[in-house]
Amino acid sequence: MQYIRPTDGGRRSRLAFGFLSILIVFAALSAPVVAQDVVADTPADTTAVSHVPAPATSVVVDDYKYDFGDRLNLSWVPSIDDQIGERMVLGYIVYRSINGGEFKPLESLLPGASSFEDKDLHADSSYVYYVAAFSETDTVPSIHTQAHQPEREFIHFDLLWLFVIAALISFSVIYFIWMARAGKDLFVRKIAGLDAVDDAIGRATEMGRPILFIPGIQDMDDVQTIAGLTILGRVAKQIADYDTRIRMPVSRSLVMTAARETIKAAYQIAGRPDAYSDDMVNYVTDEQFGYVAAVDGIMVRERPATIFLLGAFFAESLILAETGNSVGAIQIAGTARPAQLPFFIAACDFTLIGEELFAASAYLSGEPKQLGSLKGQDVGKGIAMAVILIGVISVTLGKAFDIEIFNWIADALSTVFSKAGGS
Amino acid sequence: MKKTSVIILSGVVILFLVSWLVKGASLSGEENPYLQGFLTTFAAFLTLAVFSFLYRDNPFYKFAEHLFVGASAAYWMTLGFWQTLVKKLIPKLSDGLANFFEVPTEEHSYWYFLPVILGLLLLMRLSKKGGWLSRWPLAFIVGYTAGINFVGYLRSDFVKQVSSTFVPLLIDWQGVGHFFSNFSLAIDGQFVMMLANVVIFVGVLCGLVYFFFSKEHTGLFGTASRVGIWILMITFGASFGYTVMGRISLLVGRLTFLFKDWLGLIS
């Protein structure tokens, strides 16, 4: 590392020395005799007048590990005058020079700071930093760092184990899709709520009332909404077959577009494209409770025979489910949000709990792709159960009885999963 | 309109006017007292209109509902235009447009034309011939969502949950004799901490069994599955009570508004 003396440092030192000399002479002439003795006995006290803090030291810049070449880490040892109690340093200012250009202040940090992460950099530029400690009266720069160019890494090797786990599950999914396409019968256990779908649609048909489908209040970037729309495809096909009415108010414009496409495709598959209408799906508002107010109104005015609540729900879950219950509709709900599931369980006839919502579309459709995906996920759950079992037994026996092999297994599993989890 | 409806509507209008005038007079020390009085009375009216749904659907609820839906839909559209298009997109593409909308200019990035194109494709739904093009941005969104969430959920809902379940079932274990001689039901005692870890372990394992779809839930597997659903239901029960308490506080907030800010019955 190269030490570069600040350009005005020498002049500042000379000025400070002159200023101190004048102060000492003035104090010696003006102070009483007793005080003169004290000053004479303790010459070191003259430094107490100075407010020039010591600089930060060991300023080092490092590349940020595993990034796109847009970050650098700066670290330093705080000034010796930056200590709790008698803190002279009021903070630090990080200065940066890009490609040998002028140093410009980048960030002001609180006292005690010892690192800084510089973001949004360019991989093809070089950066030099220094850190200036400042007190009430002075600013003292540190040495400059060496010029450093951020490096770009394309593979995050710390996440190797996450990749292995993801690859294992992905290959399981592909394998089971292949099996299903080859005509192998893949078993999926009975899911109670889904067996009621046919009955619920039949009920609406017999009663001559509409079916209300609520896909939650999130957008298409939520997997629960996608799961809800996948089930909608199957439900809409049956509705088309039975010539029942469907009503679908939504709170997101993209969901409206996707839902219209889904229902349209279902009606085409059912051989009734003429019966499809864009009016089946209508946008209400993005506002959570505005949407709830409108849907509640639809429920009490149109009195649907069947209500599907499948998607991501928040505080509106109980309001919707209770209103649906009050109009006597058979309700099939499903969400992966743990906080809302209790309300659906309390107020709906059937509830798809978490993973069941995602399994539902595969169960209902029986399509090879979806069945393969479901079976592949089951492989993941099987791995999780086995690992938990082995991990807990190893930790327990290793810690309680200090058996080396169990300690080793526990450490290995812990390392693999903490690395895969990114911690 | 029925005679009863006219009487009720007239009564509500009269009450509204009286409330407005009284509230305005009571706020005489403040700036624009009658405007403040109107706003408070209108807020109280809308609150009561929504509450009236508890009795049955009625014109007052319909009024509040339609006002809410209309105002919020317009609000979100305006917000989307100014916050997304004007604030985030335009400065990345055109200095002229940024200056026109009086937003700070930014370094141009032509990647931002990609969302513009996808957005325009979405609008192709309005065209009879090119309607199919609107499926492309949808496919992009769904594909992107599935891909980005796969890694995120694998980390948060799978890997981290599994590693958090590596808990020892025996804590500070020094033999059965020591365990019983020092038996305590203290919250930080050996027994309670061991019990907590056993509940975590059994709960997670049995919960996973419940969500395993490739095997019929019979025999030992069925028993584990039933334990899993019991644990889920107990958790849901606790969550239900906790959330209902939160909702009660929301109700208290509205009642406080009615009795304090509007009627002034609570000091």
| Inter-chain CB proximity A189 and B216 less than 8 Å | yes
Q: How many domains does chain B contain in total?
A: 3
| Inter-chain CB proximity A223 and B146 less than 8 Å | yes
SS3 state at A132? strand
CA distance B79 to chain A (A): 11
Domain termination site, one of B41, B65, B82: B82
Mutation target vs A (from B75, B111, B159, B244; most A CBs, 10 A cutoff): B159
Rounded CA-CA distance B188/A281 in Å is 55
Which positions ≥6 away from A163 have C-beta within 8 Å? Answer: none
**Whether pLDDT at A21 is above 70:** no
DSSP string across B130-169? SGGGGHHHHHHHHHHHHHHHHHHHIIIIIIHHHHHT---S
Interface residue A36 vs chain B (CB under 8 A): no
CA distance B187 to chain A (A): 20
Which positions ≥6 away from A322 have C-beta within 8 Å? Answer: A347
Interface residue B178 vs chain A (CB under 8 A): no
Q: Which member of B155, B205, B235 has the closest CB to residue A385? A: B205
Q: Which CATH architecture has domain A9-141?
A: Sandwich (2.60)
Tell me the chain B residues in contact with residue A375 when contact means C-beta distances shorter than 8 Å.
214
Pair B139, B222 in one domain: no
Q: Which of A291, A307, A156, A187 is nearest to A246 (CA)?
A: A307
Domain termination site, one of B66, B82, B98: B82
CA distance A86 to chain B (A): 40
Examine residue B38 and state whether it is found in any structural domain, yes or no: yes
Looking up tokens 């879950």 gives A317
**Whether pLDDT at A18 is above 80:** no
Q: Which long-range contacts (CB under 8 A, 24 or more apart) does A120-125 make?
A: A120/A70, A121/A69, A121/A70, A121/A71, A121/A72, A121/A150, A122/A69, A122/A70, A122/A150, A123/A68, A123/A69, A123/A70, A123/A149, A123/A150, A123/A151, A123/A152, A124/A149, A125/A98, A125/A99, A125/A149
- Of A13-17, A238-242, A385-389, B100-104, where does mean pLDDT reach its minimum? A13-17
Pair B201, B255 in one domain: yes
**Whether pLDDT at A15 is above 80:** no
Query: What local confidence, expressed as pLDDT, does residue A12 receive?
Result: 54
Query: What local confidence, expressed as pLDDT, does residue A224 receive?
Result: 92
CA distance B26 to chain A (A): 32
| Inter-chain CB proximity B168 and A353 less than 8 Å | no
- Of A81-85, A347-351, B29-33, B107-111, where does mean pLDDT reach its minimum? A81-85
Give me the residue spans of the domains in chain A.
Answer: 9-141, 186-366
Chain B, 79-108: which have a CB under 8 Å from a chain A CB?
none
Q: Torsion angle, CA of A288/A291/A293/A296, rounded to 10 degrees?
A: -120
State the average pLDDT over residues A318-337: 95
Interface residue A286 vs chain B (CB under 8 A): yes
Rg of chain A, C-alpha, whole Å = 35
Minimum CA–CA partner of A302 in chain B: B57
Give the Cβ contact number of residue A37 at 10 Å: 11
Interface residue A355 vs chain B (CB under 8 A): yes
Q: What is the pLDDT along chain B (267 residues), one digit of tens a residue?
A: 788 889 999 999 999 999 999 999 998 888 889 999 999 999 999 999 999 999 999 999 999 999 999 999 999 999 999 999 999 999 999 999 999 999 999 989 989 999 999 999 999 988 888 888 988 998 998 898 888 888 888 998 899 999 999 999 999 999 999 999 989 899 889 999 999 999 999 999 999 999 999 999 999 999 999 999 999 999 999 999 998 888 899 899 999 999 999 999 987
Give the Cβ contact number of residue A248 at 10 Å: 23
Q: Which of B67, B74, B37 is nearest to B49 (CA)?
A: B67
Residue type, A75: S
How buried is residue A244: exposed, middle or buried, by Cβ count under 10 Å (0-12/13-18/19+)?
Answer: buried
Q: Torsion angle, CA of B80/B82/B86/B88, rounded to 10 degrees?
A: -60
Pair B151, B201 in one domain: no
Q: Report residue A289 as tokens.
A: 């409770």
Examine residue B216 and state whether it is found in any structural domain, yes or no: yes
Tell me the chain B residues in contact with residue A363 when contact means C-beta distances shorter than 8 Å.
213
Interface size between A and B, measured as CB pairs under 8 A = 184
**Whether pLDDT at A157 is above 70:** yes
* Cα→Cα distances A68→A122, A123, A145, A150, B21, Å: 9, 8, 22, 9, 65
Query: What local confidence, expressed as pLDDT, does residue A5 receive?
Result: 43
In 3-state terms, chain B is what percent helix, strand and coil (to 5)? 80, 0, 20
According to DSSP, the residues that pair with A116 across neighbouring strands are A74
Query: What local confidence, expressed as pLDDT, does residue A255 receive?
Result: 95
Query: What local confidence, expressed as pLDDT, does residue A43 receive?
Result: 41
- Of A38-42, A241-245, A351-355, B36-40, where does mean pLDDT reach its minimum? A38-42
Examine residue B119 and state whether it is found in any structural domain, yes or no: yes
Instruction: List, for residues A98-148, the tens digit of each pLDDT value.
Output: 999 999 999 999 999 999 999 989 988 999 999 999 988 889 999 999 999
Query: What local confidence, expressed as pLDDT, does residue A50 receive?
Result: 57
Q: Report residue B67 as tokens.
A: 């006002």
Q: Which member of B64, B146, B168 has the closest CB to residue A395? A: B168
Query: What local confidence, expressed as pLDDT, does residue A290 receive?
Result: 95
Looking up tokens 């102070």 gives A31
Looking up tokens 């919502």 gives A357
Rounded CA-CA distance A114/A119 in Å is 17
Tell me the chain A residues in contact with residue B144 when contact means C-beta distances shorter than 8 Å.
221
| Inter-chain CB proximity A378 and B212 less than 8 Å | yes
Examine residue B12 and state whether it is found in any structural domain, yes or no: yes
Give the Cβ contact number of residue A383 at 10 Å: 16
Pair B158, B172 in one domain: no
DSSP classification of residue A350: E
Q: Report residue A161 as tokens.
A: 């184990």
Instruction: List, for residues A45-61, the tens digit of each pLDDT value.
Output: 444 455 688 999 999 99
Query: What local confidence, expressed as pLDDT, does residue A22 receive?
Result: 55
Query: What local confidence, expressed as pLDDT, does residue A362 receive?
Result: 83
* Cα→Cα distances B218→A190, A354, A379, Å: 12, 21, 19
Examine residue B19 and state whether it is found in any structural domain, yes or no: yes
| Inter-chain CB proximity A285 and B169 less than 8 Å | no
Pair B114, B32 in one domain: no
Mutation target vs B (from A254, A388, A407; most B CBs, 10 A cutoff): A388
Interface residue B135 vs chain A (CB under 8 A): yes
Phi, psi for residue A19 in degrees, rounded to 5 = -65, -40
- Choices 3.40.50, 1.10.10, 3.30.9, 3.90.25: CATH for A186-366: 3.40.50
Query: What local confidence, expressed as pLDDT, does residue A51 receive?
Result: 67
**Mean pLDDT, chain A, whole residue set:** 87
Pair B194, B257 in one domain: yes
Examine residue B88 and state whether it is found in any structural domain, yes or no: no
Pair B183, B155 in one domain: no
Q: Torsion angle, CA of B189/B190/B195/B197, rounded to 10 degrees?
A: 110
Query: What local confidence, expressed as pLDDT, does residue A11 receive?
Result: 54
Q: Which member of B159, B173, B216 has the closest CB to residue A417? A: B159
- A209 versus A88: which is more confidently predicted? A209
DSSP classification of residue B85: I
Examine residue B104 and state whether it is found in any structural domain, yes or no: no
Pair B159, B174 in one domain: no
Q: Report residue A39 as tokens.
A: 């000053």
Pair B149, B176 in one domain: no
Pair B196, B129 in one domain: no
In which domain, by residue range, is B151 found?
Answer: 109-164
